[in-house]
Chain A
């Protein structure tokens, strides 16, 4: 019977976790494409880039 040293098991576990993390990161990066809603609205710098195209508005307290 092959007996794995705990350090191998731990290493394997870390590799699997890393893979999952990378996968998720990849999905996030895809959804963060500037051409998607979230790609812009979750990204401060992307929004600031478009700031000149967002209609400027005044700020007051309104109504009664």
Chain B
């Protein structure tokens, strides 16, 4: 996202014959600034923007007041949408606090500090109508993107990827060193070309985004690929002859992983070397590229016996700044979770067999490259060396007990 000067963020630029905001946005222009934003007009700078005069920077933080009168249907369901309520985040917190078997519906049973902290720090970004349809989102400190004209379809760069940046945007554009852009990105496909699920739907019954119906699937477009080649015949995620693999196992490149995120604004701090003492909590937030194949710990939800997994930035004491010293049931949920990297290529390090003797040489743990290939797997030895405190949480994901007996044990 291109940085904006503070004044640029609130500048409404007129062009040619336009003389007021009404000429930019015919529908919303007639409502009048202060009818949504509050404040005082005419007035000097301070009193015009004084909260005591009712001024609000993002009026859609209260969509029932400003959006509902015209968009009642959408606002009513969107109040319980995944973007607004972050049901998946709630579920993750609930499971690690109250234990497995619970989900977002038990969020109110968490400690008061967790609930308050979530409301203040997480719910503020998840998200308002305006952050998708008027300005850049709060996570990048806002800024009008189209002269305050309300846009039906969010701007991919300035809105979608402004929030979904470090994991989706970086992957999609091929910004990790050694990676190439996602094939779909090179075909100029946009988020909504695949993501046609209803973003405003009431998702209060779903514990995470992966539970939402009508999520994109590779087979929506590649429906006839199951018998394209021997690899697909062998490993197709549903119906493969041998081990069924998630499409991502073969067709994704390394992707961003995160460690030790702490609340209270300590988000992205940039890359650091893996191996520093950053796995045991503290302030060592870390992002790093990695690629790990894990065992599918939730076959009802994800296709394939093996999936790719991403380390998520949770630590036992992630919520310490909220007054929660440690999560009570940190081990109740894997910290290496299913992921769907948006960096798809037909030829990847796994599928590039040029110069190899056998088709499986780049992946299987047999033959000359066996030891080298162990780096691809979420293995017990890997966890022992770098994540000893997270072995219990990730037992369902660690591959050792599931690999063929003839393979070298990683």
Contact = CB atoms under 8 A, between A and B. Distances in A.
Contact of A36 (B7, B13, B42, B140): B42
Contacts of A53: 45
A35 interface: yes
A36 B6 contact: no
* A41, A50, A55, A63: most-surrounded residue (chain B CB, <10 A): A63
Interface in B342-379: none
A38 interface: yes
A57 B7 CA distance: 11
B11 interface: yes
Per DSSP, are chain A's interface residues mostly helix, strand or loop, or mixed? loop
Nearest to B32: A37
A55 B79 CA distance: 29
Interface in B1-34: 1, 3-7, 9-14, 19-21, 33-34
B19 A62 contact: no
Contact of B139 (A28, A41, A56, A63): A63
B10 A47 contact: yes
Interface residues of A, number: 28
Given A62-B137, A62-B140, A44 B11 contact: yes
Interface string A43-64: 0100110110111111111111
A36 B268 contact: no
27 contacts: A28-B20, A36-B41, A38-B12, A38-B33, A41-B21, A41-B148, A42-B12, A42-B13, A42-B21, A47-B7, A50-B45, A51-B6, A54-B9, A56-B6, A59-B141, A60-B140, A61-B139, A61-B161, A61-B162, A61-B169, A62-B162, A62-B163, A63-B139, A63-B163, A63-B165, A64-B164, A64-B166
Given A59-B140, A60-B267, A61-B1, 5 more contacts: A35-B41, A35-B42, A37-B39, A62-B268, A63-B267
